[in-house]
Amino acid sequence: MKIAVLGTGPVGQTIAAALSALGHQVVLGTRDPATTMARTEPGAFGTPAFPTWKQDHPDVDLATLADAVSRAELVVNATNGAGSLATLDAAGADALADKVILDLANTLDFSQGMPPSLLVSITDSLGEQIQRRFPRAKVVKALNTMNVSLMVDPMQLAGGDHTCFVSGDDESAKQTVVGLLTALGHRDIIDLGGIATARGAEMYLPLWLGLMSALGTPTFSIKVVR
């Protein structure tokens, strides 16, 4: 599958590398490829500078947002949730039309310090906002309830037997995403329903952050026992 990953930070890099390793044709989308390739500072969480990462992943292409999306069948939104709509706007509504958008972003608001609040909650979600902004796209919310290392390698924890949720209005788009999740190793995938159910998955994040603080690690997940 041809996949565009929007976002060149640690999340985007990790997702792009994992999907490329599965044999997909992956391109990272950024506003200005030259500027991205000129970065010399280390990434967040101690990751290497982007050019170093790119050298280690030659099969992952780098392109402008619009070019990356135009070449893709599926688009992964791995951007900071506060800027997701602006990034997708820059990619272009026409380019996103009829594409599956796998949205794994969260709208955490650190403006008042810790613990963060949510920019969107209760009566709306980022997933819904993206679907409204781009009605011809097929938005599926998934993977936002876990650390990126578990997104791409769920088997490292409990043999992959923890729960991953999907939300979206288009059934075929959800099945496409479920196929990707299964290929990544996810064993327990629950379809919550339409894109409005992304509200619950996104509102889990304050609890996730509290658990990370209490446990002293981001490598944990939740399991729905039934």
Name which of 44-48, 64-68, 81-85, 121-125 the model is least confident about.
44-48
> Tokens 């952050």 sit at which residue?
209
pLDDT over 80 (residue 43)? no
**Residue of higher predicted confidence among 42 and 202:** 202
* Distance, CA of 22 to CA of 206 (rounded, Å): 32
Residue 42 pLDDT grade (very low, low, confident, very high; cuts 50, 70, 90): confident
Q: What pLDDT, in 10s, does the model give residues 170-193?
A: 999 999 999 999 999 999 999 999
Across the chain, what does the average pLDDT equal? 95
CA-based nearest residue to 60, from 12, 125, 113, 121? 12
Q: pLDDT by residue (tens digit) across 81-119?
A: 999 999 999 999 999 999 999 999 999 887 888 788 899
Which domains occur in the chain, in start order? 2-215 (3.40.50.720)
Residue written as tokens 């997933």? 127
Phi, psi torsion values for 192, nearest 5 degrees: -80, -20
CB burial of 47-75 (b: ≥16 within 10 Å; e: otherwise) equals: eeebeebbeebeebbbbbbbbbbbbbebb
Instruction: Give the list of residues 6+ apart from residue 95 with CB closer than 8 angstroms, or none.
Output: 66, 69, 70
Confidence of residue 76 (pLDDT cuts 50, 70, 90): very high
